A and B are shown apart, each in its own frame.
Chain A
Amino acid sequence: MAKNIGAVTIDSERCKGCNLCVVACPLGVLALKGREVNNRGYHFAYMESPDKCIGCQSCALVCPDACIEVYKCPPTAPPKRGALAVEAERPDQGQALQREEPATETSAQPSNVTLMKGNEALAVAAIRYGADGYFGYPITPQSEVLERLEQEMPWETTGMVVVQAESEVAAINMVYAGASCGKAVFTSTSSPGFSLMQEGMSYMAASEVPALVINVMRGGPGLGTIHPSQADYFQATKGGGHGDYHAIVLAPSSVQEMADFVGLGWDLAFKYRCVSMILADGVIGQMMEKVVLPPQRPRRTDDEIRRQCPWAVTGRKGMRPKNVVTSLELDDDKMEANNLRFQATYRLIEQNETRCELVDTDDCDWLIVAFGSMARISMKAMELARARGIKVGMVRPITLWPFPAEQIRKAAANAKGILVPELDAGQMIEDVKLAVECRLPVEHFGRLGGNVPTPDEILDALTRGFNIA
């Protein structure tokens, strides 16, 4: 008498009727239903000749939709994974690997007050902030960031990871991944590389992950020049990549601010789950100045990251619900809701985080609005002007986005005109005009192609532009 030794169950609602199990079965047990269909309209598989089944699993192995369970009696092999799953509802998967947190003391670190290039200050400040990783690609005039990091060997001290990527495209996506894991990660580049990174920044904005991106600008367009520029202002402040998004844009005008804005940038990025950017120009990156470095902070432990960034991709420790970081949402209503949430965050950032420096704006007849190296040069131009009895004040935006429009409007309340000196053909001037709603004359002065003006050129632009005697 023939004895049944195998059987299968088929989840007929999951089955798509692809027929691969029917083909795989060596004994012709299975067939597709001829007329009957499941709720999705598929002719599903079933055991047409159940007596022939030997429980060989061939059908289940090839099933793309995992809808077949196989039974065999008596079991000829010890119970496998499937059998175990019956006994324990959900086997407690593995043990989380315990990791000793690395020591946070660094040896041979530079003293707290030191002389260094702006680019180097970025690197050292990042290590001291407790950064988890840097991913970058060399490009002038910011290559000292990676060079200094490699010299410091932070992987030996804080455990920070430093990777020279194969391209800026790879680098920004490494940053995207590290940020998705809740890590404090950053990259640095200069203008052509910054263009390559725009796609990744758009993805990070859409995924709401915190990261720090540094652009030490050089003259463009194209390969352009290796000399300083501010011509990436639009790209940095208006989004740059595709879609509606913003990054917080910090504009340092000293080596000290290069160091300080690393920590500020990360703090803001984690606070708002957004990308922070340091938009420096080649002057600030290359010049050496005294800098007071922040104290060394420990890197956050895995547990701290899990607590502080419950959204982060860290592995399902304790089998918590899975975390997925993605920028994709095909449901239009949900994607609109996502966008509205991004915009709400941006309004909050505008409300809370707009920063600028006011210099002699109380009594000024003329106002200069300048950032970065141009603000430094404008400071000297102001001195020269005041020595000639021309009362000039300055607003130096520290955040280029959010833009200090309100502060500029107030500072310009009694001014007769505004000069906007930039290392570009006139980009920030558009935001200045919007800030004052064109109620007073706003003039641009710019040098292009990597050229940097002297204070006299700025003073000349002011007096000639506004016909000041």
Chain B
Amino acid sequence: MNAIIQPQNRVYSRPSLLNDAHMHYCPGCSHGVVHKLVAEVIEDMGVAENAIGVSPVGCAVFAYNYIDIDWLEAAHGRATAMATAVKRLMPDRLVFTYQGDGDFAAIGTCESIHACNRAENIAIIFINNAIYGMTGGQMAPTTLLGQKTATCPYGRRVDLNGYPLSITPLLAQLDGTCYVTRQSVHTPGAVRKAKAAIRKAFDNSIACRGASVVEIVSTCNSGWKMSPEKANQWMVEHMFEKYPLGDLKSND
């Protein structure tokens, strides 16, 4: 075995843009996988010098500590407004936001929809894990009916909490979006597809084709109070029905 472990035989390693800092995410958190993919795609594209990320308020608030590119840290929900300005002022840069469901689809819904509708040439990575992770597991706009959270402890009810918001199909209907897709990172195959989707969205930003939205249906095993693998199973069994995977729009 040891004979195989030689530099010339290496077929997969940590992207160098992902620095050595220990990520604060819980064990098994989908954020880690998506961070890794973002770093890999930027490296593959060779655009580290031209990439500017906007991190959200939420679990990914410290994304800037892990991926070694220039970053802005947005106020809660305003990432797409900030990305709008960055891309308009520096049109040759790769500009992307990285946002959770609370940031993107609750407090930032207005900015999310309008940035997409204005066809801002930005890529949006939208992590939908149906819960507020950082604040301790409260109800998100995307929390499923019946799903228990700290603020709907007996399960989400329509009469009390309304319906889960599936925002990505809304964005697909806007003329300003060029690519809208829903992916996941729970299996090796899903990870490969998600990476291809992020690559496509980033290419779109560089080429100024319009707004791209990559929703990653994700787990929050701590918030869901499950083991990471149980959370993946629960996601497959419950989340995919409301948030089915696949491309919703692709203007090629």
Binds B, one of A83-91, A273-281, A403-411, A428-436: A83-91
The answer on a CB contact under 8 Å between A314 and B70 is: yes
Binds A, one of B10-18, B136-144, B148-156, B241-249: B10-18
Q: Find chain B residues with CB under 8 A from A7 CB.
A: 1-2, 4-5, 9
Interface assignment of B174: CB less than 8 Å from any CB of chain A: no
Interface assignment of A66: CB less than 8 Å from any CB of chain B: yes
Interface assignment of B7: CB less than 8 Å from any CB of chain A: yes
B73: contacting residue among A66, A135, A328, CB under 8 A: A328
The answer on a CB contact under 8 Å between A170 and B81 is: yes
Interface assignment of A109: CB less than 8 Å from any CB of chain B: no
The answer on a CB contact under 8 Å between B4 and A72 is: yes
Binds A, one of B43-51, B123-131, B160-168, B175-183: B43-51
Binds B, one of A51-59, A333-341, A361-369, A454-462: A51-59
Distance of A236 Cα from B227 Cα, bound (Å)? 50
Interface assignment of A326: CB less than 8 Å from any CB of chain B: yes
Interface assignment of A23: CB less than 8 Å from any CB of chain B: yes
Report which residue of A70, A96, A324 has the largest number of chain B beta carbons within 10 angstroms of its beta carbon: A324
The answer on a CB contact under 8 Å between B188 and A61 is: yes
The answer on a CB contact under 8 Å between B48 and A177 is: no
The answer on a CB contact under 8 Å between A85 and B16 is: yes
Report which residue of A53, A56, A65, A176 has the largest number of chain B beta carbons within 10 angstroms of its beta carbon: A65
The answer on a CB contact under 8 Å between B111 and A66 is: no
- How many Å from the CB of B194 to the closest CB on chain A? 10
Interface assignment of B185: CB less than 8 Å from any CB of chain A: yes
- How many Å from the CB of A304 to the closest CB on chain B? 14
- How many Å from the CB of B80 to the closest CB on chain A? 8
Binds B, one of A264-272, A315-323, A394-402, A445-453: A315-323
Interface members, chain A 1-51 (any B CB < 8 Å) = 4-7, 9, 11, 14, 16-20, 23-24, 40, 42, 47, 50-51
B64: contacting residue among A51, A77, A324, CB under 8 A: A324
Binds B, one of A140-148, A160-168, A413-421: A160-168
- How many Å from the CB of A38 to the closest CB on chain B? 11
Chain B 29-45, CB-CB to A under 8 Å as 1, else 0, gives: 11111011000101111
The answer on a CB contact under 8 Å between B14 and A69 is: yes
Which of chain A's residues has its CB closest to B28's CB? A18
Q: A66-B18, A81-B40 are in contact. Are A181 and B90 (CB under 8 A)?
A: yes
Which of chain A's residues has its CB closest to B16's CB? A85
Distance of A37 Cα from B187 Cα, bound (Å)? 26
Q: Find chain A residues with CB under 8 A from B110 CB.
A: 166-167, 169-170
Q: Find chain B residues with CB under 8 A from A66 CB.
A: 14-15, 18, 32, 35-36
The answer on a CB contact under 8 Å between A69 and B10 is: yes
Interface assignment of A348: CB less than 8 Å from any CB of chain B: no
Which of chain A's residues has its CB closest to B114's CB? A166
Binds A, one of B19-27, B98-106, B196-204, B209-217: B19-27
- How many Å from the CB of B6 to the closest CB on chain A? 7
The answer on a CB contact under 8 Å between B84 and A57 is: no
Interface assignment of B191: CB less than 8 Å from any CB of chain A: yes
The answer on a CB contact under 8 Å between A62 and B186 is: yes
A83: contacting residue among B8, B69, B187, CB under 8 A: B8
The answer on a CB contact under 8 Å between B73 and A70 is: no
The answer on a CB contact under 8 Å between B70 and A324 is: yes
Interface members, chain A 285-315 (any B CB < 8 Å) = 302, 313-315
Distance of A57 Cα from B28 Cα, bound (Å)? 17
Interface size in chain B (residues, C-beta < 8 A)? 78
Which of chain A's residues has its CB closest to B61's CB? A328
The answer on a CB contact under 8 Å between B188 and A58 is: yes
- How many Å from the CB of B249 to the closest CB on chain A? 22
Which of chain A's residues has its CB closest to B7's CB? A86
- How many Å from the CB of A185 to the closest CB on chain B? 7
Chain B 69-107, CB-CB to A under 8 Å as 1, else 0, gives: 111111100100111111011101100000000000000
Q: Find chain B residues with CB under 8 A from A47 CB.
A: 1
B75: contacting residue among A5, A173, A317, CB under 8 A: A173
Interface size class of chain A, counting residues whose CB lies under 8 Å from the partner chain: 35 or more
- How many Å from the CB of A159 to the closest CB on chain B? 10
Distance of A326 Cα from B71 Cα, bound (Å)? 8
The answer on a CB contact under 8 Å between A317 and B49 is: yes
Q: Find chain A residues with CB under 8 A from B35 CB.
A: 66
- How many Å from the CB of B94 to the closest CB on chain A? 8
Distance of A178 Cα from B95 Cα, bound (Å)? 13
The answer on a CB contact under 8 Å between A178 and B86 is: yes
Q: Find chain A residues with CB under 8 A from B48 CB.
A: 93-94, 316, 319
Q: Find chain B residues with CB under 8 A from A77 CB.
A: 11
Q: A18-B27, A61-B191, A65-B23 are in contact. Are A314 and B90 (CB under 8 A)?
A: yes
Distance of A68 Cα from B73 Cα, bound (Å)? 29
B82: contacting residue among A82, A83, A173, A315, CB under 8 A: A173
The answer on a CB contact under 8 Å between A315 and B11 is: no
Q: Find chain B residues with CB under 8 A from A18 CB.
A: 27-29, 228
The answer on a CB contact under 8 Å between A81 and B88 is: no
Q: Which residues does A use to contact B, with CB under 8 Å?
A: 4-7, 9, 11, 14, 16-20, 23-24, 40, 42, 47, 50-51, 53, 55-58, 60-75, 77, 79-83, 85-86, 90-91, 93-97, 99, 132-133, 135, 161, 163, 165-167, 169-171, 173-178, 180-181, 183, 185, 199-200, 203, 207, 302, 313-319, 322-328
Q: Which residues does B use to contact A, with CB under 8 Å?
A: 1-16, 18, 22-23, 25-33, 35-36, 40, 42-52, 54, 61, 64, 68-75, 78, 81-86, 88-90, 92-93, 110-111, 114, 185-188, 191-192, 227-229, 232
30 pairs, A vs B, C-beta closer than 8 Å = A6-B4, A18-B228, A58-B187, A62-B186, A64-B32, A66-B35, A66-B36, A70-B12, A71-B10, A82-B13, A85-B16, A90-B16, A93-B46, A93-B47, A93-B48, A94-B48, A96-B50, A132-B89, A133-B89, A165-B81, A177-B83, A181-B89, A207-B73, A313-B70, A314-B52, A314-B90, A315-B52, A315-B93, A316-B51, A322-B71
Top 6 nearest A-B pairs (CB, nearest first) are A64-B32, A18-B28, A177-B82, A326-B73, A94-B46, A16-B27
